[in-house]
Amino acid sequence: MLVRTRFAPSPTGYMHIGNLRTAIFEYLIAKKDNGSFILRIEDTDQERKVEGAIDFIYKTLELCNFKIDEGPNNPGEYGPYIQSERKELYKEYAMKLVESGHAYMCFCTEEELERQRHAAELRRVPFMYNGKCSILTKEEIEENLAKGLPYVIRQKMPKEGVTEVNDLVYGKIKIDNSILEDQILLKSDGFPTYNFANVVDDHLMGITHVIRGHEYLDQTAKYNLLYQAFGWEPPQYIHVAMVLGSDGNKLSKRNGDASFMDLYNEGYLPEAIVNYLVLLGWSPPTNQEIFSMEELINIFDPKRISKSSSQYDVKKLNWVNAQYIKKLDDKEYIEFVKPHLEKAYDLSNKSPEWINKLLTTYKNHISYGKEIATVTAPFFTSVNKINAECEEFLHSDESIKNTLKVFKEKLEKLSDFTSENLNNLINEVKEESGAKGKLLYMPIRIAATHEMHGPELADTLYLTGKDTIIERISEVYENL
């Protein structure tokens, strides 16, 4: 059997990371078995459609290096791949269910439904449509149609027994039919509901595996009843637990949680985002945490998807992204991070050599692109006064004043100001002053940069500039 998975986002804005994680799982399942990954745009909710959102979807999948085997921008034999272009198809299949007795036309007005909701509230029970129109006679239906009354088509649910759902993660689940409402399949405007369009499209497009959120597991019983009504074979269901935010709530773009493009614009590498998200709710067979796409395809096993919710952890994402930044060669790294520096500061008075040196010096000190502006701020803004911790260290040993004196004297005589020569100079200070370890490096760093920690000292000194260092050390020395 050729494995066919589909990613079916709604064009309602940027893609949030929970939705992207689903796409990653679907992509890996398809590619592991040399199957097909299909993109389908679910735009039946026209009110929520956002202009340009489809382009965001294309861009996101492209950046993540997902090969779309079929979709609106790469049509195959199962199109169209945008649901609004399949509108007549859904009506045809809805009417087939009406003819077979598995669905019916519902003429209830919003006022009638509101009365039913109110009655449910008074009884303190969840609202479920009471099936009033399911018992209309043929004559009553024809009379309503002749009057031009608007209607929806509802699925006629069994009210007794159970419906089974076989899920790869959760196993066999039995859903009591009594809790299944006669859901709307086709709205009065002719557009299908999400649940109905999914079933029709998944069958007609030959989808073999469907990944959905665990919170929709009960709803899958309705899917299975539709498959049974049509006489179709259901796909393999894979329900995944939710991704929760730091507040314990489900991640959602409606709640303002990070989208893929938000992260990308902050300077997170797409492959790092993919790597991190695949580990949210799925565990590899080894302790390895950094994977190439090829490695993920080879080892991905949906049976290792967890039943428990996972929590979005920015610190872990930063760690993963930092590993990918470190793997970039210097040219790739500079091209990646430089725009963030240019956006933050005026670089017109800085040489290309100095800029590139600054960026590469901090390569191992950032976890996302935009962070370069934060860690390099001392080179572009007024340096803060030495903090209390630094002051305490400078007064912690009598030898520190002499170390700074020797360093300043040698620096003033240094004619060729390079990182290599600065490194040699520091070694000379070590020999002459007798200082070593933190009593050698820490005083020089604090006096020159007003910071206790940072990248390689010689590189930091070079970027700070000779005159600036001499001025700062002189000031510190006088106060010791």
Asked if residues 441 and 457 have their Cβ atoms less than 8 Å apart, the reply is: yes
How many C-beta atoms surround the C-beta of residue 309 within 10 A?
Answer: 16
Distances (CA, A) of 392 to 46, 129, 187, 397, 451: 64, 73, 72, 10, 13
Asked if residues 82 and 41 have their Cβ atoms less than 8 Å apart, the reply is: yes
CA dihedral of residues 100, 103, 106, 111 (deg, nearest 10): 170
Dist CA 324 CA 23 (whole Å): 21
Phi, psi of 318 (to 5 degrees): -60, -40
Asked if residues 324 and 269 have their Cβ atoms less than 8 Å apart, the reply is: yes
Q: Which of 469, 462, 467 is nearest to 446 (CA)?
A: 469
Helix (H, G, I), strand (E, B) or coil at 368: coil
Dist CA 10 CA 57 (whole Å): 9
Dist CA 22 CA 20 (whole Å): 5
What is the 8-class DSSP label of residue 212?
E
How many C-beta atoms surround the C-beta of residue 340 within 10 A?
Answer: 21
How do 162-167 and 152-155 pair as beta strands? unpaired
Whether 350 is catalytic is no
Given the structure tokens 């493009």, which residue do they identify?
A: 261
How many C-beta atoms surround the C-beta of residue 415 within 10 A?
Answer: 6
CA 328 to chain centre: 21
Please identify which of the residues 59, 253, 357, 410 carries the catalytic annotation: 253
Asked if residues 296 and 289 have their Cβ atoms less than 8 Å apart, the reply is: no
Dist CA 40 CA 26 (whole Å): 13
- Letter string b/e over residues 119-140, b meaning 16 or more CB atoms within 10 A of that residue's CB: eeeeeeeeebbeeebbebeeee
Dist CA 267 CA 328 (whole Å): 14
Phi, psi of 296 (to 5 degrees): -60, -45
Q: Which of 87, 83, 60 is nearest to 72 (CA)?
A: 83
Q: Where are the alpha helices (DSSP H) in 108-214?
A: 110-123, 138-146, 194-204
Residues marked as catalytic: 253
